[in-house]
Amino acid sequence: MRIKTRKTVYDGFFKVENVTLEHNGKSIDRDLVTPKNGVAALVYDTVQQQFVLTEQYRLVAGKPLVEIVAGLLDKEGEKPEDTIAREIEEEVGYAVDKLQLISTYYSTPGSFAEKIWLYYAEVSHKISAGGGVASENEDLKTVCFSREKLYTTPFEDAKTLIAVLWEQCKHRS
């Protein structure tokens, strides 16, 4: 397969391109959504011995969802590990004690070009109120989960499901 043409059809919060591929002598048209890449972390408070997640309204779901801390790689030159540390402070108010990369992955590689850096973070002390950044129109609520509640909650967010499954596998070893 090779790319024959790329045409930007929308360039806003996301970029959408119409891409024509050539495969076995045939032309195939695809739309490609290109957002900023992201970071996410399953946050564990080692003092309270609980997981710290967020709840916020999500347009796609039409309701609030409980998710792990996450954000966009939107500051020029900032490394993913620095971005997730900043996001943890902004969203739930903690400083990071320990950070471990779980994986990097494409969320939906068929047509969505977002790459996620997924982490496990240990925290032990709050340094701010959290709740998100007003200038980014964030309105987050912090929610805490025991290990048992984390394992039995039916999450609807893929990055959260991946992180919880990773934690379950790690904890069982």
Asked if residue 69 and residue 6 are part of one domain, the reply reads no
Cβ count within 10 A of residue 26: 7
With pLDDT > 90 as the criterion, what percentage of the chain qualifies?
A: 76
Q: Where in the sequence is the domain holding 95, given as residue range(s)?
A: 38-172
pLDDT for the residue 110? 82
Residues 140, 56 contacting (CB under 8 angstroms): yes
pTM: 0.90
Asked if residue 154 and residue 83 are part of one domain, the reply reads yes
Tokens 């925290």: give the residue: 123
pLDDT for the residue 154? 96
Cβ count within 10 A of residue 1: 8
Asked if residue 43 and residue 59 are part of one domain, the reply reads yes
